[in-house]
Structure 1
Amino acid sequence: MKQFLSLMTLIFFSSLYGQEKLYLPLEFKKAYENGTRSQDGTVPHGYWQNRAEYDIEVSVDVPTRILSGTAAIIYYNNSPDTLRSVVFHTYHDYLKPYTSRQVFDPLNSRAEDHKGTLIEHLVVAGDTVEITNPERVIYRGTNYRVILAEPLPPKEQLELSIKWNYQIPDERQSRSGAFDSTSMIVGYWYPEMAVRDDIFGWDTKTFDAATEFYHDFSDYKIALSLPEEFTVWASVPPDNPEEVYSEEVQNRLEQARKSSSAIQILTKEDLRPGTGGMKTWKFTAKDFPDFAFAFSDHFLWEAATYTNEEGEYFLQTAYSHANPGFGEILPSLTTSLESLHGEFPKYPFPYHYFTVFNGQKSLGGMEFPGMANNGYAKKEDFRQYLGLDLNDKEAFLANLNLTLHEMAHMYFPFMMGINEKKYAWMDEGFAEISSAFIEQWMPIDDMDFSYLGSLSVVPPMVPSDEHDNSGINAYLVGGAAYLSLYELLGDELFNRGMHAFMNEWKHKHPTPYDLMFTFNRETGKDLTWFWNAWYFDWGYIDLGINDVEDRTAEIENLGGRPMVFTIVTTYENDELLKEEINPEVWKNSSIYTHSIPGSQPVKQIHLEFHHIPDAVKDNNLWKREK
């Protein structure tokens, strides 16, 4: 009997997982052989993850925008390996002349005289290291590899002390920099220990502003000194509110903690010039992937508290009085939380303290743990920059879409420690699908996506940092794939897989394989065909109507991606029938034959796509010849 059961189990799993296989590069094969990853998507006993503790004192000279800091860092080697070197990032070196830059930042944003991050002093394990000594330090673009005098054994720790400074970028920057002469959002500002993982080892990718970041989960203790007239917003609230806030501001914050509607924390009337004194703001963040802050001496400040069964969420916005429309953003934070909790991903929002800072000059935004750097686009901005004439409601929905997108990033990559440099679609696609569950501001059918069929758009599993069109895969293809998976499985089964993945890999470093294997396990379905078609195979997003005859419509998947779509049938009497077609129809064939319901003559058939771009629009409509 035991042999029979073993045989039946083997047959079952062979039929479930043996029909197709996912391509596994050698780096991943070794991880599975070494027991640091599991082919059912669970976190195995052999999984390990390094971390750091940062104790940082920093100050900003506002007129010159010079940030100066000292950091005492304890780095923990939790791996089974003996380390002979350590790596840390200095991301603002990408502003130096002649560095590699990509299109995500404005073309004129490189200051030709920017010196990048200047390391003034470096001590490693009590050993003073000369930063220009090539026998001890290898510098590559935006990171330093320091050769250790004594190797760091497994399960041991290492102390580093770094003194540095750099100039905060001017207002031409989008992700991090100055909004005006005294209002700045500061990200990627400290020497950050690079991730060393079980797949690729040390992350030594040079930052070029095309792809984003990869962070360990670490502890932060920050002391930030600024002139007394400045207010600071950060990834977490200050530890010393009584020292940095007036009594009136403290009272208003207490009101906001009890109010679901906006409380004005700082108004124009509250702004006062300084007397030359300084304040030190103190912050503590535990198990955070990164730390960011913003400051201003004239920004307005509103806050409110959103409460539901998941707990209390303190929400706030800070913005220039020259942009009063940004005051509309605070209600959109509540709307976004309602969607994230009730629609997608139906999972507790991971940051109970969240701030949106109006530091973005362009129409977009940028996420940080517990924060977002967002612009606020007015109708004239959409007309000037995108050529779109939007009404008031459409403009509000566009800004809401941005807010929701940045808030969704608090899950991916800040709760899930995704390597955005290699798999940008994992977090950008996740943020994109969140927008599919709110009212849209612009019909996607109105946009030209023909470039999706270009040879330059490679399969998404090609690492994002290895090609120039990673943004297309990250946002458009990534979002379409997640949404098609959602429609393929249905709400309940999709959430079972997604929630299991989030619970299992929270505050860890999941890869796409961990996501895929978890969904296979939790759904009990062999989704290998879906993963291959969307992520590994060459192809693009395009369906077309081949023919309509004898009350059947033949639809072809010309691009190969198994996407969800809607067939809209218009009858002779002008009645409309909309039928959503599950991506399952593409599992075994590129042709889907659809039976047209009813007996009324058919006038036309049209293919519609909700929140999914279709590369070729000319083949989406069939009209009966007269």
Structure 2
Amino acid sequence: MTTFMKRCSLATVLLCGGMQYAGAQQAPVSANYDHHAAFSPLFYTADGNEFRSSGGQPGPKYWQNSADYKIDASLDTLEHRITGTVVITYKNNSPDQLPFVWLQMDQNIFRSDSRGTATVGAVGDRFSNRNYTGGFELKQVSLVSNGKTTPADYLVNDTRMQIRLKDAIRTGGSLQIKIQYSYVIPEYGTDRSGRLQKRHGWIYEIAQWYPRMAVYDDVLGWNNIPYLGASEFYLEYGNFDYSITAPANMLVVGSGALVNEAQVLTPTEAARLAKARNSDQTVMIRDTTAFYKNAAGNRTWHFVCKNSRDVAWAASRGFIWDAARINLPDGKKALAQSVYPAESEGTHAWSRSTEYVKGCIEQYSGKWFPYTYPVATNVAGIVGGMEYPGIVFCNWKSARGGLWGVTNHEFGHNWFPMVVGSNERKYAWMDEGFNTFINGIATAAFNNGEYKTNVPAQKQAASLFSANEESIMNTPDVIGLRYNGVAAYYKPAAGLNLLRNVILGPERFDYAFKEYIKRWAFKHPMPTDFYRTMENAAGEDLSWFWRGWFINNWKIDQAVKSVAYIQDNPENGALITVQNLQQLPMPITLLVKQENGKSDTLRLPVEIWQRGSNWTIRYPSTSRLSEIVIDPEGALPDVNVGNNTWKP
């Protein structure tokens, strides 16, 4: 305590403190705003530790387990059946001994008695079954050790399988699991996979097609939320070596690199593909005249995908196939390619798909983090839009800006969550929302803004804060379907835009966001890892924003309350009083116009709301004010713009 403070009585101290803000700060007046709640010092419920640092980066003892897959599968086009054998090598890098392991059995959602079926309303929805299958049919589940195979002790419960071990997997140890399985491909796979019949044959989009390891992490241990449809995936990283045997008249594309081109491509296709790898213009590899019409028997397509969390593939005898080069940072290259039926061909439709793939991946790679797969494949089929590592499924009817939008969005997912491996089952906003945010920046950059649209945040308030609103911080299976798109996609993306454009500025935001991606590439971040990284890298306490925008449904309502002139003389200056009438505080921007034609833009930080909902600004006017406008560019989703403008 200073000597000055010691000499003051309590009343004098209060008066002395108040003099600093005379004419600038009044007591709180808004019943909808509590500054103590907004700026509460208690936000993080736990301190950083040796696994996850208080600064937001992985700690010195951070760990995660891994899973490598060797898969041999065949496609029966008469019965629409996949039959396969998967050998999983699972490594325990945790400090715990594991007496059992869990696997995801997502095809079981298509059973008539699944939880996913039971939790869909009578009227159905996007994620409801349109037909039922038997799910995974298991022929054999065994453990492999020292070349010996023994039957596994396992239990399947809905979309999960537990394998109980005689000897626990020790830290640093590994387990090899061999599963022989089959399943019937559903025609409509909850808009994530399926099959579509077109004029030249069936299109198969195959995903969630093998038993996959569940994640064991330092936060929850085993992550065993059942697959119900709306919530997506949480997967371990590893290397994939997989082979697909299909009728010889089919073209197969998949995640990763095709490693036996000489055995499955014609010399003409191989030559054209080589040309495409060195071309910035789209090169036709296979058109409608080159179908394998007379091919008999089967072909086996062999793919390798490294450091990935999943793989998917597609097959059809009726695919048109084109490709072009992707230019990556540091002189590296990748291949963009598209496969689509004749019905999707056209200069306003899928004939531009490869251009779109190349354009968005080059933008994301230069702006945020280099693309990590050798090939990027866009598949036209029954799926409206779904992402997997290095391959995406988009609707065959998409065209013009709609095709750009879905292609851009699905390939954006190769950064969230394919590179930054968040838990989609619990936190959809950490992949869908972050991806929607980077989609907007890519759209503005693509082809000189060909598909750019300018919708100010101010005009988004009605949808962001609708009667159906729910907190972003909910699992997708809990959020109502009428608001899920806002809560998972648009509101978190709008939040990142507020951080970038209003709170931090692009330079500080971009640096921190890239730091988050770099730190958590091929790892498993939690929400607080994101919060802490952004705060530490940008140098800003943002707990008030996380609390209001992501955890609660706090709204924004800034208003001009009044204008007065010092000694009733505009030449002495004006006192402008503004208000924060809802619970979420934000920085404020004021456009102030004078009758003499002069105008100024004032920008004040969020801290003006730390002591209440009113703030008075002394403005050096030289004539009467003619107009004051809060947020003149519409950067804030203000729920009541009617009080944003003052005129005498």
TM category (shorter chain) comes to 0.7 to 0.9
Q: 3-state DSSP class of the match of 1:276?
A: coil
Q: What is the RMSD computed on CA atoms of the aligned residues?
A: 3.5
Listed one character per residue, the Cα deviations across residues 560-586 of structure 1 (whole Å, up to 9, x for unaligned) are: 445678767899999999888876766
Amino acid at match of 1:76: K
Q: 3-state DSSP class of the match of 1:514?
A: helix
The equivalent residue for 1:314 is: 335
The equivalent residue for 2:639 is: 616
The equivalent residue for 2:186 is: 169
Unaligned residue ranges in structure 1 (runs of 5+): 1-17, 130-135, 379-394
Whether 1:542 aligns to 2:542 is: no
Aligned equivalents of 2:285, 2:413: Cα separation in 1:
26
Amino acid at match of 2:94: S
The equivalent residue for 2:363 is: 339
Question: Which of 492, 497, 500 is the aligned partner of 1:478?
Answer: 492
Q: 3-state DSSP class of the match of 1:204?
A: coil
The equivalent residue for 1:6 is: none
Whether 1:259 aligns to 2:279 is: yes
Rate the CA distance shift 1:341–1:240 in 2: closer, same or farther, 3 A: closer
The equivalent residue for 1:8 is: none
Whether 1:62 aligns to 2:84 is: no
Q: CA deviation at 1:68?
A: 0.9
Rate the CA distance shift 1:139–1:313 in 2: closer, same or farther, 3 A: same
Amino acid at match of 2:202: T
Do 2:458 and 2:638's aligned partners in 1 also have CA atoms closer than 8 Å?
no
Do 1:72 and 1:161's aligned partners in 2 also have CA atoms closer than 8 Å?
yes
The equivalent residue for 1:247 is: 267
Matches within 5 A, 1:564-575: none
Question: Which of 96, 102, 124 is the aligned partner of 2:143?
Answer: 124
Matches within 5 A, 1:80-159: 80-98=95-113, 99-100=115-116, 101=119, 106=125, 109-125=128-144, 126-129=149-152, 136-159=153-176
Aligned equivalents of 2:488, 2:633: Cα separation in 1:
19
Q: CA deviation at 1:241?
A: 0.3
Amino acid at match of 1:474: A
The equivalent residue for 1:292 is: 312
Question: Which of 510, 521, 532 is the aligned partner of 2:536?
Answer: 521
Whether 1:430 aligns to 2:434 is: yes
| TM-score of the superposed pair, with normalisation by structure 2 | 0.79
Q: CA deviation at 1:309?
A: 3.6
Whether 1:461 aligns to 2:509 is: no
Matches within 5 A, 1:387-398: 396-398=400-402
Q: CA deviation at 1:403?
A: 2.4
Aligned equivalents of 2:189, 2:249: Cα separation in 1:
25
Aligned equivalents of 1:143, 1:426: Cα separation in 2:
24
Do 1:37 and 1:43's aligned partners in 2 also have CA atoms closer than 8 Å?
yes
Do 2:131 and 2:187's aligned partners in 1 also have CA atoms closer than 8 Å?
no
Rate the CA distance shift 1:567–1:190 in 2: closer, same or farther, 3 A: farther
Matches within 5 A, 1:488-567: 488-536=503-551, 538-547=552-561, 549=563, 556-561=579-584
Do 2:558 and 2:643's aligned partners in 1 also have CA atoms closer than 8 Å?
yes
Rate the CA distance shift 1:349–1:554 in 2: closer, same or farther, 3 A: farther
The equivalent residue for 2:57 is: 42
Rate the CA distance shift 1:175–1:608 in 2: closer, same or farther, 3 A: farther
Amino acid at match of 1:328: R
Matches within 5 A, 1:351-390: 351-362=373-384, 365-375=385-395
Whether 1:231 aligns to 2:251 is: yes
Rate the CA distance shift 1:242–1:192 in 2: closer, same or farther, 3 A: same
Amino acid at match of 2:58: V
Give the number of the structure whose alpha-carbon radius of gyration is greater. 2
| TM-score of the superposed pair, with normalisation by structure 1 | 0.82
Amino acid at match of 1:327: S
Unaligned residue ranges in structure 2 (runs of 5+): 1-38, 565-573
Q: CA deviation at 1:155?
A: 1.3
Rate the CA distance shift 1:270–1:309 in 2: closer, same or farther, 3 A: same
Amino acid at match of 1:403: T
Q: CA deviation at 1:327?
A: 1.3
Q: 3-state DSSP class of the match of 1:49?
A: coil
Q: CA deviation at 1:441?
A: 3.6
The equivalent residue for 2:31 is: none
Q: 3-state DSSP class of the match of 2:279?
A: coil
Aligned equivalents of 1:417, 1:528: Cα separation in 2:
23
Q: 3-state DSSP class of the match of 1:248?
A: helix
Aligned equivalents of 1:350, 1:572: Cα separation in 2:
58
Rate the CA distance shift 1:323–1:153 in 2: closer, same or farther, 3 A: same
Listed one character per residue, the Cα deviations across residues 525-577 of structure 1 (whole Å, up to 9, x for unaligned) are: 333333333333x2244335354646887665555445678767899999999
Aligned equivalents of 2:379, 2:205: Cα separation in 1:
8
Q: CA deviation at 1:238?
A: 0.8
Rate the CA distance shift 1:616–1:339 in 2: closer, same or farther, 3 A: same
Aligned equivalents of 2:486, 2:536: Cα separation in 1:
29
Q: CA deviation at 1:122?
A: 0.7
| Greater relative CO (CA pairs within 8 A, separation 6+) | 2
The equivalent residue for 2:352 is: 328
Listed one character per residue, the Cα deviations across residues 32-91 of structure 1 (whole Å, up to 9, x for unaligned) are: 55x322212232222111111111110111232111111111111111111111100111
Do 2:554 and 2:582's aligned partners in 1 also have CA atoms closer than 8 Å?
yes
Aligned equivalents of 2:620, 2:395: Cα separation in 1:
47
Do 1:20 and 1:529's aligned partners in 2 also have CA atoms closer than 8 Å?
no
Q: 3-state DSSP class of the match of 2:352?
A: helix
Rate the CA distance shift 1:47–1:424 in 2: closer, same or farther, 3 A: same
Do 1:211 and 1:470's aligned partners in 2 also have CA atoms closer than 8 Å?
no
Q: CA deviation at 1:347?
A: 2.8
